[in-house]
Structure 1
Amino acid sequence: MKKQIERINQLLINHFGIPERQKKLPDPLDIIIGTILSQNTNDKNSYKAYLNLKSNINSWEDVLSLKTSQIERIIKVAGLGKQKAKAIKNLLKNLKKYHGKLSLTHLKKKSDDEVLDELILHKGIGVKTASCVLLFAFDRNVCPVDTHVHRILNRVGVVETSNPEKTFNEIKSHIPKGAAHSFHTNLLRLGREYCTPTNPKCYECPIENVCNYKEKNFTIKKLTKQNNFFLLDSIK
């Protein structure tokens, strides 16, 4: 599997390049709240919701004094406002209760598995959200798996799994050293631009020659404008 991933990662880099990263890693609390907001919506809308929330507070402490309904109104552009507002408020309340402050910096010295195990204890935070903290805030060699990554890795034949969490567990020990960020980000681009849920553009896919997908589509259609904005690499 590792050799497969190495090959796919290199093909994606050849096509998309190495994704840019911020020189200074963002605060892990910012990342986890941004990731909560990104669930089941696009990056642009979740970023608007994130900026809306930040512009209404001086610090995350202020969110504790807001009603869930108030948070919901502020982040409504991201969709699923009630669900996401509850998850954010619950996370902050738990951090204040058990750690005395609103911070995730205590996780820096913990192992990847320890970080995952602790974060998923919070209601509304799953493995994908927790793994985003590891990659984007702590620069760990961990590849978060969303629906795009799950779909592509199954189509290509790297895994045969039924959901993103199982895909994550299958690949997590096979990511080449230092490859997680480029692999994750370029798979997202591939999923948006080529390996779409329906009518994938196999006729111009940069990894078509290593893909085992049985229902490849070679019917050329007019290209649509792509959205190459990525939320978690934009949070500062």
Structure 2
Amino acid sequence: MKKKIEKINQQLIEHFGIPVRQKRLPDPLDIIIGTILSQNTNDKNSYKAYLNLKNYISSWEDILKMKISQLEKLIKVAGLGKQKSKAIKNLLTNLKKENGKLSLSYLKKKNDEEVLEELTSHKGIGVKTASCVLLFAFDRNVCPVDTHVHRILNRIGLVNTSSPEKTFYEIKNQLPQASAHSFHTNLLRLGREYCTPTNPKCYFCPIEALCNYPQKNFEVKSVIKENDFFLLDSIK
């Protein structure tokens, strides 16, 4: 599996390039809240919600004093306001209660498994959200798996899994060194532009030759609309 991942990653880099990363790693608390906001919506709406929050408050502490209805209103553009506001409020309340301050920096000293276990112990925080903290805030070689990544890796035939979480654990220890960020980001872009849920554009796909998907679609030859804005690489 590791050799095939390396080949897929290289071909995606040749097609899309190496995704740009910030020189300075963002705060892990910013990343986890941004990731909660990104659930079941697009990156642009998630970013609007994130900026709404950041521009309204002076620090995350302000949310502890905020009514849940007010928080829900601020993040409305990202959808699922009730669910996401509860997850954010619950996380911040627990952190304050357990650690006396709002910070996830203490997790840097823990290994990947410990970080995953600790973060997912909070209601509303799943493996995908926790793995985003590992990759984007701690620069660990961990590939978060959302619906795009899950769909593509199953279509390719790299895995045969029934959920993004199962796909995550299937590939977790198979990633070539320092490949996770480019692999994850370019798979997201592939899923948005080419390997869409319906009518995938296999005619243009840069990794079509490596794919075992039995229902390839070579009929759609429309112009590819680039979708290269990524929320978590935009959080500073």
TM-score clears 0.5:
yes
* Structure-1 residue corresponding to 2:184: 184
* Structure-2 residue corresponding to 1:172: 172
1:123-156 per-residue CA deviation (whole Å, 9 max, x = no partner) reads 0000000000000000000000000000000000
Counterpart of 2:138, as a letter, is F
Q: Indicate conservation of the 8 Å contact 2:203/2:221, yes or no.
A: no
Counterpart of 1:143, as a letter, is C
Instruction: Give the structure-2-normalised TM-score.
Output: 0.99
Give aligned-pair identity as a percent.
79
- Structure 1: distance between partners of 2:68 and 2:125: 17
- Structure 2: distance between partners of 1:120 and 1:44: 25
Counterpart of 1:98, as a letter, is E
- Structure 2: distance between partners of 1:222 and 1:182: 26
Cα deviation, residue 223, structure 1: 2.4
Write out aligned runs for 1:1-236 (5 A).
Answer: 1-223=1-223, 225-236=225-236
- Structure 2: distance between partners of 1:113 and 1:54: 30
- Structure 1: distance between partners of 2:37 and 2:72: 11
Counterpart of 2:197, as a letter, is P
- Structure 1: distance between partners of 2:227 and 2:14: 20
In the TM superposition, structure 1's runs of 4+ consecutive aligned residues that sit over 2 Å from their partners are 220-227
Q: Indicate conservation of the 8 Å contact 2:200/2:217, yes or no.
A: yes
Counterpart of 1:180, as a letter, is A
- Structure 2: distance between partners of 1:168 and 1:42: 21
Cα deviation, residue 220, structure 1: 2.8
- Structure 2: distance between partners of 1:227 and 1:71: 29
State the secondary structure of the residue aligned to 2:15.
helix
Counterpart of 1:72, as a letter, is E
Cα deviation, residue 221, structure 1: 3.6
- Structure 2: distance between partners of 1:222 and 1:3: 32
CA RMSD of aligned residues (A): 0.6
Counterpart of 2:148, as a letter, is H
- Structure 2: distance between partners of 1:144 and 1:112: 12
State the secondary structure of the residue aligned to 2:233.
coil
Task: State how many pairs are aligned.
Answer: 236
State the secondary structure of the residue aligned to 2:232.
coil
